[in-house]
């Protein structure tokens, strides 16, 4: 492929089989392209090239067909709206020719991080040392494809005047190599994603989502913009959370019973210290700038807390995050063993998170939003390690459990400023990201330029067996409980979620 020294923007349609990632990609690409439509926009599409990727772990032909069809259809619409654009197919041969290319150890490390982030998200696993033989093979194939993808774009970028690269999310195996190629060639990269199944779009320039710098800057910008109404916005946010209504993320408490607490909580006599855990796989792989605040093992940290002598003065409650319901069996075992020593409230419990907060003397938080919500409810919050809101004074921040114990025993903890929570809630209530061509119509239904992109029914039905096989093979039987939802998605070509 030969291009003159013209100015170029590029996009990679990874995860095209999934909506709204496709619609978001096209919309952000158009936004960037239209800043100066004289610049060429090249859209790259994986044509069954990757041996394993984040949307098709087992490289099943039926899923590849879905992805290719939707990518081509999406580009057709993009071309109609943006004539100065071109589609480039990436084939298996393109990547296989590059499998032996030299890559620096630093880049390899980042690419492996993306592979492990993908596998961790799929298996809800935080320790890659526990992968069985089958998943080790998948890891190997995914790593090979990711390295080849890096080499492909690194080679393409050389000696060309590329301005920007549009990439989905950035954390996963088929995106992290593209960031590394961009950095290597000093090219701007834009990441995009959306919360609440596509309802709240977001994008970033030259930084990862949920990086602490990204969150701090955008939160401050949004807060200043809506300063006069911030108190009311914060009040509305908390009311939504208390009433189990999604704001900028899913309502993970929607299956809890209002004001209800299990007897194992109500029978406690001493002041309560409630420990709120987080999804271990996300906690490990969420972003590299979190590491400076200390990434700890949550279960080991809890053992440190309960073996510290604090139980003479306090009762402990360990409240697992509802999103930990499908964590890997190895992590479930850790919490099961922990429950032999202390009260553990499991993800499926009907106990009301906010009622537990009200009854607690101290909240110990890892990276859950419960921390900053508890501060709004005027509770003492001690947070171990990083979180998205780590740069705001919403908690008593400590590096590890030992520091938390020292703080509690010294009684030097305090309730932090309410304003920190108001600032954060304003940010959650008001999106500062605009994508004119993108539209969320309802759960599972999205459009690009007012056009809907759906694969034909024959492609959808042909992929059912492979999708079921994959979910069963990793022990995920949620499709049984949600059969009606998935059946309707199949018939109507939507992507509604439970």
Higher pLDDT, 350 or 126: 350
The owner of tokens 């099943």 is 60
Q: Where are the domains of the chain?
A: 7-218+433-492, 230-429
Q: What is the pLDDT of residues 208-250, one digit of tens each?
A: 877 888 889 999 999 999 999 999 999 999 999 999 988 877 8
Within 10 A of 142 (CB to CB), how many other CB atoms are there? 28
Q: Mean pLDDT across the stretch 62-88?
A: 97
In CATH, what number does 230-429 get? 3.40.50.2000
Give which of 246, 423, 260 is closest to 353, Cα–Cα: 260
Residue 287: predicted pLDDT:
57
pLDDT tens string 121-175: 898 888 899 999 999 999 999 999 999 999 999 999 998 999 999 999 888 999 9
For 307-318, the pLDDT digits (tens) are 999 999 999 999
Work out the pLDDT band at 90, boundaries 50, 70, 90.
very high
Whether the per-residue pLDDT at 395 is higher than 80: the answer is yes
* Least confident interval from 34-38, 111-115, 278-282, 319-323: 278-282
Whole-angstrom distance, CA of residue 430 vs CA of residue 98: 44
Rounded CA separation 26/448 (Å): 7
The closest alpha carbon to 408, from 310, 271, 316, 311, belongs to 310
Same fold, 7-218+433-492 and 230-429: yes
So what's the pLDDT on residue 14? 84
Task: Decide which of 124 and 30 is more confident.
Answer: 30
> What pLDDT, on the 0 to 100 scale, is given for residue 3?
55
Q: Is 7-218+433-492 CATH 3.30.1330?
A: no
CA–CA distance, 318 with 368 (Å, rounded to integer): 13
Q: Which residues pair with 321 in a beta bridge?
A: none
Report the pLDDT value the prediction gives residue 303, as an integer from 0 to 100: 97
Q: Please state whether beta strands 445-448 and 438-442 pair in parallel, antiparallel, or not at all (unpaired).
A: antiparallel
* More confident: 202 or 44: 44
| 280 has pLDDT over 70 | no
- Please tell me the least confidently modeled range out of 288-302, 326-340, 395-409: 288-302
Residue 200 has a pLDDT of 87
Q: Which of 56-65, 76-85, 327-336 is least confident?
A: 327-336
Average pLDDT over all residues of the chain: 93
pLDDT (average), residues 93-116 = 93
Following DSSP, what letter does each residue of 82-138 receive, concatenated?
-SSEEEEEEPHHHHHTTTT----HHHHHHHHHHHHHHHHHHHT-S-GGG--HHHHHH
Residue 343 CB neighbours (<10 A):
18
Residue 281's pLDDT band (boundaries 50, 70, 90)? low
User: How large a percentage of the chain has pLDDT more than 70?
Assistant: 97
pLDDT of residue 283: 58
Contact between 95 and 152 under an 8 Å Cβ cutoff? The reply is yes
pLDDT in tens, 4-24: 578 999 999 988 888 999 999
At 433 the pLDDT is 83
Do strands 161-168 and 7-12 pair parallel, antiparallel, or not at all (unpaired)? parallel
**Taking residues 371-377, what's their average pLDDT?**
98
Q: Tell me, letter by letter, the H, E, C secondary structure of 245-301.
A: CCCCCCCCCCCCCCCCCCHHHHCCCCCEEEEECCCHHHHHHCCHHHHHHCCCCHHHH
């Amino acid at each position: 492929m030969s291009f003159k020294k013209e100015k170029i923007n590029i996009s990679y349609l990874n995860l095209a089989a999934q909506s709204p990632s496709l619609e978001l990609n096209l919309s952000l690409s158009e936004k960037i392209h239209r800043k100066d439509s004289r610049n060429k926009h090249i859209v790259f599409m994986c044509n069954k090239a990757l041996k394993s990727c984040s949307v098709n772990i087992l490289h099943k032909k039926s899923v590849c067909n879905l992805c290719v069809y939707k990518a081509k259809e999406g580009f057709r619409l993009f071309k109609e709206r943006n004539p100065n654009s071109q589609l480039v197919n990436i084939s298996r041969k393109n990547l296989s020719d590059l499998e032996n290319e030299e890559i620096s150890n630093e880049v390899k490390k980042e690419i492996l991080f993306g592979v492990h982030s993908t596998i961790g998200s799929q298996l809800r696993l935080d320790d890659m040392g526990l992968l069985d033989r089958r998943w080790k093979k998948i890891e190997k194939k995914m790593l090979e494809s990711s390295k080849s993808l890096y080499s492909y774009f690194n080679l393409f970028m050389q000696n060309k005047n590329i301005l920007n690269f549009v990439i989905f999310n950035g954390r996963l195996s088929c995106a992290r190599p593209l960031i590394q190629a961009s950095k290597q060639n000093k090219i701007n990269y834009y990441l995009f994603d959306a919360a609440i199944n596509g309802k709240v779009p977001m994008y970033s320039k030259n930084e990862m989502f949920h990086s602490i710098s990204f969150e701090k800057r955008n939160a401050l910008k949004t807060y200043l913009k809506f300063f006069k109404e911030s108190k009311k916005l914060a009040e509305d946010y908390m009311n939504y959370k208390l009433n189990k209504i999604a704001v900028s993320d899913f309502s993970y408490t929607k299956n809890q019973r209002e004001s209800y607490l299990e007897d194992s909580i109500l029978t406690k006599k001493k002041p309560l210290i409630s420990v709120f855990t987080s999804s271990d796989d996300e906690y490990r792989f969420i972003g590299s700038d979190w590491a400076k605040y200390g990434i700890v093992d949550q279960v080991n940290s809890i053992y440190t807390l309960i073996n510290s002598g604090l139980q003479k003065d306090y009762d402990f409650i360990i409240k697992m995050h509802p999103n930990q319901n499908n964590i890997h069996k190895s992590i479930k075992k850790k919490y099961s063993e922990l429950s032999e020593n202390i009260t553990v409230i499991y993800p499926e419990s009907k106990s009301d998170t906010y009622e537990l907060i009200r009854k607690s003397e101290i909240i110990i938080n890892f990276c859950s939003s419960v921390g900053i919500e508890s501060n709004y409810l005027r509770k003492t919050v001690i947070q171990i390690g990083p979180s998205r809101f780590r740069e705001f004074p919403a908690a008593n921040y400590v590096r590890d459990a030992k520091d938390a114990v020292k703080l509690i025993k010294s009684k030097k903890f305090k309730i932090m400023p309410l304003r920190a929570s108001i600032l954060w809630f304003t940010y959650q209530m008001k999106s500062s990201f605009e994508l004119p061509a993108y539209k969320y119509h309802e759960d599972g239904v999205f459009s690009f330029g007012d056009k809907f992109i759906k694969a034909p029914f024959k492609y959808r039905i042909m992929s059912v067996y492979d999708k079921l096989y994959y979910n069963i093979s990793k022990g995920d039987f949620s499709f049984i409980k949600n059969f009606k939802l998935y059946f309707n998605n199949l018939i109507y070509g939507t992507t509604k979620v439970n």
